[in-house]
Amino acid sequence: MSKIRAEYGLPMIVTSGFRSEADEARIDPAHPNSLHTRAAACDIYDPDPEKRLWNWCINKMDFLVEVGVWLEDRLYSPAHVHFQIYPPASGKRIFTP
Ligand SMILES: [Zn+2]
């Protein structure tokens, strides 16, 4: 994430990082094995309607591919950008959770 923050050049507020099993059960019970439980995902605050970070990511996709992160589709995380360092089962760079 430090490479992304340096390139983004603005403060990035983590709204969710590592989650214990209990955290995950409370926050996202539909995905008990999310990469948050393996310290391989983090959520960065990015509220609608501005979506400043999300729009930056869309414009910097080549950079994000080089860094090696995948993003959850914005439709499923309207107040933050979910980054993860392992590909989802679909392999898609922007994926449906
Ligand atoms: Zn997340």
Ligand 1 centroid to 65 CA: how many Å?
18
Encode pLDDT of 18-29 as tens digits.
999 999 999 999
Residues 27 and 64: their CA atoms lie apart, in Å, by 26
Ligand 1 centroid to 36 CA: how many Å?
7
pLDDT of residue 1: 82
Which residues contact residue 61 at a Cβ distance below 8 angstroms, ignoring those fewer than 6 apart?
93
Provide the CA 63 distance to its chain's centre, in angstroms.
Answer: 15
pLDDT of residue 15: 96
Ligand 1 centroid to 29 CA: how many Å?
12
Ligand 1 centroid to 96 CA: how many Å?
12
pLDDT of residue 76: 92
Ligand 1 centroid to 55 CA: how many Å?
17
Residues 87 and 44: their CA atoms lie apart, in Å, by 18
Question: pLDDT tens digits for the chain (97 residues)?
Answer: 899 999 999 999 999 999 999 999 999 999 899 999 999 999 999 998 999 999 999 999 999 999 999 999 999 998 999 999 999 999 999 999 8
The token duo for 14 is: 């983590």
Helix (H, G, I), strand (E, B) or coil at 70: strand
